[in-house]
Amino acid sequence: MSQTPHALTTLTDEETAFAEALGAFFREQVGPLVHKMDQQQQIEPSLLPMFFEMGLMGIEIPEEYGGAGGNFFMAIQCVEEAAVVDPSVSVFIDVQNTLVINAIRRWGNDEQQARYLPRLARDLVGAYALSESSSGSDAFALRCRATQDGDDWLLNGNKLWITNANEAGLFIVFANTDFDKGYRGITAFLVEREMAGFTVGKKEDKLGIRASSTCELILENVRVPAANILGPVGKGYKTAIETLNEGRIGIGAQMVGLTRGALESAMSYAKEREQFGQPIANFQAIQHQIAQAATELEASRLMVYNAARLKDAGLPFIKEAAMAKLFSSQVAERVASIGVEIHGGNGFTTEYKAEKFFRDSKIGKIYEGTSNMQLSTIAKMMLQ
């Protein structure tokens, strides 16, 4: 069994300052809107220009294209800090950075990068359209078809569970150009919202991360020029796999931030809530739950940071990314549940943050690869 080098997991002074600045921004600008956004199932539109102005929607986009010129670790920090306040905002920023921008930077040609990266840094929201009714964990069972028509391609099919669909103007859509070749016919296309035949359909009414839009996409003879093929024809499966490997670290960061938010809320309440003449934080039963939660939070955070450091260093990170997502999502669900219990009856009401963190935590075990899929990835890499 090969050993992967461990990357540095502590923060530099610059990274600490960056995280603190992000945390203050999300608390001040997003915090007061969280309950309203959750109820209305929509991210406050006025926040979007602020996210772009702050450079949060193009962290890894090079400065020459108008981006922040940062690295993957900085994107992970942003995702984490956003989730402390609102996991819905966190995944909105996460998909833009760790999926859409990463895919275009990795697989896009010079013309595509020059055409889309400046817009993604400035005002264009992106979405990643892989899932379908027949293809969830079995991503390559997708039925969306791409048929060549002269120099163009016609896309037909439906996509489901597409995050950011309501706000997005650019979609990375995966379709099969030759079903006889199986997954080797899958190709990635850059589809713009205004293209004829493209429709954003039903918006899902979800348990958690309700402000984050999750919609169906309908493609009816959507004409896409060959210039909008992302990567080689028939290599879309590689684009999907490699991008999702990085995206798992983003989901891990989201779960770490959520865990932090849930724990901070629980500790604050435990110090204020009095029973038997003293704050419940004085009771050993509460203290032990908080101590266990804090320990698991630290472990999951270091796992996510390590995976991100490895990715930035160009070292193997697939196993570490799967472990980070698996463990951080387990911890998030566990700590969010404890948070509800520490709040007692109040934790079961929408007046306090605890119930929302609990609802939001469940998705961590499901999207961008279920926990079972992460276990399969880890086992395969351990046993090879």
Among all residues, which ones are annotated catalytic? 368
From CA 374, how far away is CA 238, in angstroms rounded?
18
What does DSSP say about strands 126-129 and 170-176: parallel, antiparallel, or unpaired? parallel
Q: Quick check: 145 and 175 in contact, CB under 8 A?
A: yes
From CA 312, how far away is CA 320, in angstroms rounded?
13
Q: CB atoms < 10 A from the CB of 255, how many?
A: 36
The shares of helix, strand and coil residues in the chain, as percent rounded to the nearest 5, are 60, 15, 25
From CA 43, how far away is CA 252, in angstroms rounded?
21
Tokens of 79: 């995702």
Q: At what angle do helices 236-272 and 284-312 cross, to 10 degrees?
A: 150
Buried b (16+ CB within 10 A) or exposed e, 217-226: bbbeebebee
What does DSSP say about strands 278-279 and 152-163: parallel, antiparallel, or unpaired? unpaired
Give the residue from 76, 82, 97 showing the smallest Cα distance to 7: 76
* Residue linked to tokens 């879309």: 236
Residues 6+ apart with CB under 8 A from 91: 163, 209, 212, 251, 254
Tokens of 33: 């809107």
DSSP state at residue 363:
G
DSSP state at residue 194:
T
Q: Which residues pair with 147 in a beta bridge?
A: 154
Distances (CA, A) of 32 to 18, 37, 58, 265: 22, 10, 24, 15
Q: CB atoms < 10 A from the CB of 64, how many?
A: 11
What does DSSP say about strands 198-203 and 214-225: parallel, antiparallel, or unpaired? antiparallel
